[in-house]
Amino acid sequence: MSMTEILEGPEAIVAAVARLGLGEPIAFPTETVYGLGADAMDADAVERVFALKGRPASNPLIVHVSGASMAEDLVDQWTDDANKLSEAFWPGALTLVLNKSELVPDVVTAGGSTVALRCPAHPIALGLIEAYGKPIVGPSANPSGWISPTTADHVARGFDGHDLLILDGGSCRAGIESTVLDLTSDRPTILRPGIISHLQIGRVLDQDIQIVEPPSGGIAKSPGLLGAHYQPSIPAMLKATEELNHADDGVYLIAWSLKSPENSKQSTTLPHDPVGYARGLYNALHQAELSECSTIWIERPPEFDDTHPTDNTPIWHAIRERLSRICQTSPSSNP
């Protein structure tokens, strides 16, 4: 096989397990985005994932496990906080950063002393990990820095021409990457916001959870903190609602407030609620790339009340964090 291949059903997991055993990368669905999988205990296989993505070796990977029992072997100490959070949110979109055990190859953690662990809430992902019997790394299944994939077709387009098996699990229901929580500091700290909020985590741990800005140097504890991410191949920019009707034929418009923009020939309307918006954002960017437009305009998300936050409020913060990276200077062409 010389091209990407998309499979579904039980035979897809059997084929994927065989490839993982040979040290070959595969792509698999999770509830957040599609991941590029390899045996987390096989340093050579993990290096192939870095090479296929074009990912910097300084950017660590999340290790996907089938549950707490598998995670415990990968850490120096499975803490009380880790146990409470895994019981509350696993399987789910919460990644826990803990001090790693000697079993985890250095390539997985970018040479750092911590490892990021997650149990995905997707039947195919869990079925794959359980069938393989070992933890699997799973960075987003796209060339490094580009739009995260939320369908099997997105993965195939990103790695067109590569020898890659893709397990088809439909569209990802969360649509943005997991919340990453550092449990190695004095206080539990969110390194990357996601669908699971600091409010929900704080209720489980009975304490306030802090959120930090990405580091400017040193060894990263989590993926998604270094450099540009989630970017389309054409320039993307945030626009105020009142600017949208100035879009011309060369603009692809991603909006939430307008059903029929007056001038834009091509557009996607995202839901007004943050859960629906997050689910559709990356797919809208992929649609924009398939258009003949030269620019993407993204309507600024709705205002929300930070003084009286709900569990949905932090999702808007996570969306805005993704948009800030999407709308940095975009690459000029696809790799």
- Does 223 reside within a domain? no
Partnered with residue 28 across adjacent β-strands are 35
- Which of 218, 55, 270 minimizes the C-alpha distance to 146? 55
Tell whether 302 is covered by a domain. Answer: yes
Q: Which residue has the higher pLDDT, 171 or 246?
A: 171
Confidence at 147, pLDDT banded by 50, 70, 90 = very high
| pLDDT (0 to 100) of residue 161 | 85
pLDDT, residue 214, reads: 60
270 Rama class: left (phi>0) / alpha (psi -120 to 50) / beta: beta
Each residue of 6-64: pLDDT tens digit?
A: 999 889 999 999 999 999 999 999 999 999 999 999 999 999 999 999 988 888 999 99
Least confident of 15-29, 117-131, 173-187: 173-187
Residue 87 is part of a domain; what is its CATH number? 3.90.870.10
| Tally of structural domains, the chain | 2
3-state secondary structure of 182: strand
| Strand pairing report for 35-39 and 26-28 | antiparallel
pLDDT > 70? residue 215: no
CA distance 272 to 80: 38
Asked if 201 and 293 sit in the same domain, the reply is no
Preceding peptide of 232 cis, ω within 30°: no
Please check whether residue 285 is in contact with residue 254, taking contact to mean a CB–CB distance below 8 angstroms: yes
pLDDT of res. 75: 98
Element of type H or E holding 276: helix 274-290
Same domain, 202 and 269: no
Domain membership of residue 224 (yes or no) is: no
DSSP state of 148: P
Residue 220 pLDDT: 64
Q: Domain check: are 29 and 177 in the same one?
A: yes
* 133 assigned to some structural domain: yes
Do 240 and 196 lie in one domain? The reply is no
What's the start-to-end Cα distance of the chain, in Å?
Answer: 21
Neighbours of 9 (CB within 10 A): 10
Residue whose token pair is 């190695």: 184
Q: Is residue 256 part of a domain?
A: yes
Work out the angle at residue 273's Cα, subtended by the Cα atoms of residues 193 and 181, and round it to the nearest 5 degrees: 15
Task: List b or e across 312-327, with b for residues whose CB sees 16 or more CB atoms inside 10 angstroms.
Answer: ebbbbbbbebbbeebb
pLDDT by residue (tens digit) across 274-314? 999 999 999 999 999 999 899 999 999 887 766 666 777 88
Looking at every residue in the chain, the average pLDDT score rounds to 89
* Residues in CB range of 167: below 8 A, 6 or more apart: 7, 8, 12, 13, 16, 26, 27, 28, 29, 124, 128, 152
pLDDT at 218: 57
Place of tokens 């990368």: 25
Q: What range does the domain containing 253 cover?
A: 236-326
Name the strands in the sheet holding 210-211, side by side, starting at the edge strand that comes first in the sequence: 5-7, 165-167, 26-28, 35-39, 136-137, 62-64, 114-118, 94-99, 179-182, 189-192, 210-211
pTM of the entire predicted model: 0.90
pLDDT higher than threshold 50 for residue 1? no
